[in-house]
Amino acid sequence: MDRLSDSQVAEQIKKLPGWEKKGDAIRKVFPFKNYYETMAFVNATAWISHREDHHPDLEVGYNKCVVTYSTHSAGGVTAKDLECAGKLEKLVSG
């Protein structure tokens, strides 16, 4: 996978509400009502990640989960990172 340019990331990230470019990664804070909903999201994210063979960094709290995607082997954001972020958006939007 090839690393995308900053302008390519900026253009594509517009399609992903709440996501931001942070350094060599993209990230979003997903808020939830409680721990149960947070953990359900984490488990669903793990399932998606396993299927895609592409795993984000997760920071889990009581009522939020911070998801960070970056392709370490490419040294930044790739199309796969954006694709997986899109799948998480579909997950939470219904």
Each residue's pLDDT tens digit, 13-63: 999 999 999 999 999 999 999 999 999 999 999 999 999 999 999 999 999
How many Cβ atoms from other residues are within 10 Å of residue 80's Cβ? 15
Looking at the chain, list the stretches that DSSP marks H as alpha helix, in order from N- to C-terminal side: 6-13, 35-52, 79-93
Q: What is the CATH number for 79?
A: 3.30.1360.20
| Residue 45 belongs to a domain | yes
What's the confidence (pLDDT) of residue 78? Answer: 98
Which of 90, 77, 80 has the alpha carbon at shortest distance from 9?
A: 77
Is residue 66 situated within a structural domain? yes
Q: What is the CA radius of gyration of the chain?
A: 13
Q: Output the pTM of the full model.
A: 0.95
Instruction: Domain count for the chain, please give it.
Output: 1
84 lies in a domain?
A: yes
* 12, part of any domain: yes
Q: Is residue 1 part of a domain?
A: no
94 pLDDT above the threshold of 80: no
Domain that holds residue 87: 6-93
